[in-house]
Amino acid sequence: MTIVGPNETKRIHSHKFFLWAAMGSICMMFAAFTSAYIVKRNQSQWLDFDLPKVFWYSTLVIVLSSITVHLALKKIKANEINKYKSLIAITAVLGVVFSAMQFFGFTELNNHGIQLFGAGSNPAASFLGVIVGFHVLHVLAGVIAVLYVSINSFNNKKSNVNIVTVEMISTYWHFVDVLWIYLFVFFMWIR
């Protein structure tokens, strides 16, 4: 937020407003997906299956990445550039690890005969594939942004780092973290 004077109101940065509007739209999309899942699970041929354990570990990874991005934001604001660079790079690596773990989870499901799409698939598995797949796409968008900022941080000094950009990435990263926790809990207890 910018404060321009004692008598003027606080205004949110236009990019931050756009980010919040986009996150609201994403929430609505996932609310629609999970609502459709609940309705469809009453079908007679619905397949119940356990999520692979790797999804538990990926949850830990994304929570850890949320902590590192939070600390990176604190460090850049405190002008601790080297710590910021390390933490933002760790966040990017953890985002990639999370995405890879999701892939391994789907591979494990496939190895147990649970096909996500195509002939021989079940709506339960297809819903899981679509919902988690869309989440992973959002995580990968965040990973690209974090990688961009991380690489840029190693090429520039603090004077060239845009704090608003780091704040927005941190906000978005926390958002995909909370979204994953919601989806994970949903699939663990609503299935």
Q: Are 122 and 46 in contact (CB under 8 A)?
A: yes
pLDDT band for position 5 (cuts 50, 70, 90):
very low
Q: What is the pTM of this model?
A: 0.84
What pLDDT score does 77 carry? 92
Q: What is the mean pLDDT of residues 7-17?
A: 74
DSSP class per residue in 126-153:
HHHHHHHHHHHHHHHHHHHHHHHHHHHH
Crossing angle of helices 81-111/123-155, nearest 10°?
Answer: 160
Average pLDDT over residues 26-37: 94
Please answer whether residues 191 and 48 qualify as being in contact, where contact means their C-beta atoms are separated by less than 8 angstroms. yes
Supply the pLDDT for residue 159.
53
Task: Give residue for tokens 């933002």.
Answer: 88
| Domain parsing of the chain, residue ranges | 49-189
Q: Rg of the chain over CA atoms, in angstroms?
A: 19
Find the angle CA(56)-CA(60)-CA(65) to the nearest 5 degrees.
145
User: What pLDDT, on the 0 to 100 scale, is given for residue 156?
Assistant: 66
DSSP string, 88-103: HHHHHHHHHHHHHHHH
pLDDT tens digit sequence for 58-88: 999 999 999 999 999 999 999 898 899 999 9
pLDDT digits (tens, 9 = 90+) for 96-137: 999 999 999 989 988 988 888 887 788 888 888 899 889 989
Contact 58, 29 (CB under 8 A): no
Give the separation between CA 5 and CA 9, rounded to whole angstroms.
8
pLDDT for the residue 3: 42
pLDDT in tens, 140-180: 999 999 888 888 877 765 556 788 889 999 999 999 999 99
* CA–CA distances in Å: residue 109 to residues 106, 115, 116, 134: 5, 7, 8, 17
The correct CATH number of 49-189 out of 1.20.120.80, 3.10.20.30, 3.20.20.70, 3.40.50.300 is 1.20.120.80
The per-residue pLDDT for 31 is 95
Q: Which residues contact 29 (CB under 8 A, 6 or more apart)?
A: 134
* Residue 10 pLDDT > 90: no
pLDDT at residue number 9: 56
